A = this chain, B = another copy of it.
Amino acid sequence: MPTKTDTKGHEAQIRELIDDWADALRAKDVDRLMSHYSANIVSFDLAPPLQYQGADSLRKSLQTWFSTFRGPVGFEIRGLDITADEAVAFSRSLNRITGSRTNGEETDVWVRATVCYSRSAGKWVITHEHTSVPLYMDGSEKAALDLKP
């Protein structure tokens, strides 16, 4: 069984992973971002389809998304909560995405993020992630893009 120190060590390692991942996202650095994913990543992303399977699929999606931002991506993480054992972990947070898009629009939206990790050969990698906004239940079928934590 993990000792208290071990468990804290894993949490700290995942916090470092998230910090580096977020810096890479802000800088639109796809290679650095992808270094944190398993080759078998399954991603439930903001945009369709229902799921992206595999690192190549995720990489293409990130490249397309980054190309819609004129400059860097603004990215704030709030309420980060990490649960880690020896080889399995998950985290949740509310993330704010901001920035100027190439179509002239300004993006400013809060999303929910759940990220799941596995540790293999001493290294934590992301094996599953889920990012979304809620859906208004008023019959409009509109996504809830104006919510704040």
Contacts and interface: CB of A to CB of B under 8 A. Distances in A.
A89 to B, nearest CB: 6
Give the interface size bracket for A toward B. 35 or more
Interface string A111-146: 010101010000000011010111111000111110
Given A83-B116, A88-B83, A137 B44 contact: no
Given A44-B92, A92-B42, A147-B48, A114 B141 contact: no
Given A83-B118, A130-B130, A48 B92 contact: no
Interface of A: 1-2, 42, 44-51, 81, 83-90, 92, 94, 110, 112, 114, 116, 118, 127-128, 130, 132-137, 141-145, 147-149
